[in-house]
Amino acid sequence: MVIWFKWYEPLSNSTADIEASERAMQFTIGWFIQPILRGEYPQVMKEMLGSRLPNFTREESMRLRGSVDFIGLNAVTAIYCTYDDHYLPNTGYWQDINITTTGDIPIFIYIYCHQ
């Protein structure tokens, strides 16, 4: 399994921006990886989306957990994000994350993988 994603860095050192970048990562990478590693969606997604996020049955969770042999991460770029307090429930995926990004202004990152 290979996951394409953008890396999110906080725009400032404020707690709100740090939490926004972590939330963005959970809504992108965590959305796919946590079910196959832990059998459930990230906690922040469950809290923010409530009943709009489907639940796994116990059997589905057990079957998902550990069901991959390899996970590749394809970080295409990194961007800054900041907390956005204009949360509008029931609007859509990008609004649910509750962040604002700097757009596709890349931050160059170096990722080293060792096997």
Q: What is the pTM of this model?
A: 0.79
Sheet bearing 2-10, strands edge to edge: 2-10, 72-83, 99-101
Query: What is the predicted pLDDT for the residue at 73?
Result: 87
Banded pLDDT at 66 (limits 50, 70, 90)? confident
Amino acid identity, position 98? N
| pLDDT tens column, 26-60 | 999 999 999 999 999 999 999 988 888 999 999 99
Q: Is the pLDDT of residue 111 over 60?
A: no
Spell out the domain ranges in the chain: 2-101
Question: What is the secondary structure of 25-87 as a DSSP string?
Answer: HIIIIIHHHHHHHHSS--HHHHHHHGGGSPPPPHHHHHHHTT--S--EEEEEEEEEEEE----
Amino acid identity, position 112? Y
- pLDDT mean across residues, the chain: 84
* Distance from C-alpha of 26 to C-alpha of 96, rounded to nearest angstrom: 12
